[in-house]
Structure 1
């Protein structure tokens, strides 16, 4: 485990899950606009800094080994389009440039499965193949997804310069407690805009934790999801009904062994990170 870690957005809903997971494993500092509310993090170093304030970030990052960049506007519904786009894109550049200038060796960046251009597009826009993996074409068409696609491009460009290692984690829709009672209905909704994919925040935190110490160099991207979808109808059957025809199935063995497997392929995260999703939507209803 890397010793000195910065977590931007560590006071957010996902950020606190990660911070609580790693707080006893490293020397942690949280960079956010408010202190984390979880009492487990009461004694963690904190700085009130905007992720677009490059000079302040560079000062805060000095002497740290790694940065986990979670801070962002998390969806297209939270803020106006210009605010979302500018915050996410400028914030990503500021964090990566500050990390490079401060001598940080590894940055783990939060992206989103929305970069595939599937989450917020019309329901008649199917994936090119199933399950959707990291190599699937990216075709975002709205401001939030585009901001995340550009974030990935920024991350890749910094890694190509050779001074820092950058890993991008693409979570699917992260489900928090206020949504639990909606899960069964979402699983039955043929037009579900996340294609029945979801993940628990604890499992996303696991992926980021693993990314801090995983052996790699340069630039890597990993998509993370629960193993199953929200659907109670076999995934391929539901996909064929939704789109009128079944997209190409490149890994039929996944659905042969688990008919309810997610539309998202997590094979790479399993193999390279040791990622094992532990929480299902049924667990959330208990």
Structure 2
């Protein structure tokens, strides 16, 4: 059985990722400050800002594991404004450099990490260049958190240039949701601007976990980024109405669909075989 380190495995997305990977035959080692609710996973409490701890844990822990085949890096201060900007930058940038460097120096060549929809220009106070948005335009970070995600993507590109055998896949996750979050969704229809900040997108944690598994299974090498969202928006109101109200004048590329995601997942569908399995519409009476 292959073994994968998952950082942030106790988090909202991390819990779903650990469940998905264990059920798919992976041995999972979680590096986090909090124990995940998975008895099958090996938990190692690690401060990711301490490179010595990260490198040691990547090499193995006596009587528990001794080799690692892949890395999934999810741990981070999860959004802008949670802590002072300097703390966001220091924690997230250094943690990512530490886990990626430790993985490379222990022979790991398969790395999947959580990038972010924020690199697309969220909260879209400056409108997007076109709708639906995709991976074809350069990052537009508008916060310290997003700046770090942009730098991580550039770092991955350079590391893969240095090492052609390395695979680094950045998943630009939308706003992560669990089923208990869906009860609030019908209230969003009252004001189109409540959720305009990410083009009314979301990602069910279970579908996010599917994307992580597919990225690990990919045989590609080099660096790639993918938008990972659900197939629909958080809104019942039609896309054409929302876009006309909130983003008048923005170029429309292709079909908007009635409630199709405006964070294009076409690339992930084509290259990873990603297909969302869950929707809030199946779980909230309307």
Q: Displaced runs of 4+ in structure 1, greater than 6 A?
A: none
Contact residue 174 and residue 198 of structure 1 kept, 8 A: yes
Contact residue 187 and residue 196 of structure 1 kept, 8 A: no
Partner of 2:192: 190
Q: How does 1:208-219 map to 2 (within 5 A)?
A: 208-219=212-223
Which of 46, 61, 64 is the equivalent residue of 2:43?
46
Q: How far apart, in 1, do the equivalents of 2:80 and 2:180 lie? A: 18
Q: How far apart, in 1, do the equivalents of 2:48 and 2:253 lie? A: 40
Q: How far apart, in 2, do the equivalents of 1:117 and 1:279 lie? A: 26
Which of 247, 250, 254 is the equivalent residue of 2:253?
250
Partner of 2:62: none
Q: How far apart, in 2, do the equivalents of 1:43 and 1:279 lie? A: 25
The offset of 1:115, in angstroms, is: 0.7
1:70-94 alpha-carbon deviations (Å, 9 max, x no partner): 0001111432222112111111111
Contact residue 88 and residue 151 of structure 1 kept, 8 A: no
Q: How far apart, in 2, do the equivalents of 1:176 and 1:79 lie? A: 24
Contact residue 31 and residue 48 of structure 1 kept, 8 A: yes
Q: TM-score, normalised by structure 2?
A: 0.90
Q: How far apart, in 1, do the equivalents of 2:27 and 2:277 lie? A: 26
Q: How far apart, in 2, do the equivalents of 1:265 and 1:140 lie? A: 18
Gaps of at least 5 residues in structure 1 are none
Q: Secondary structure at the match of 1:111?
A: strand
Partner of 1:229: 233
Structure 2 residue 167 is matched with structure 1 residue 170 = no
The offset of 1:174, in angstroms, is: 1.0
Q: Secondary structure at the match of 2:177?
A: coil
Structure 2 residue 56 is matched with structure 1 residue 31 = no
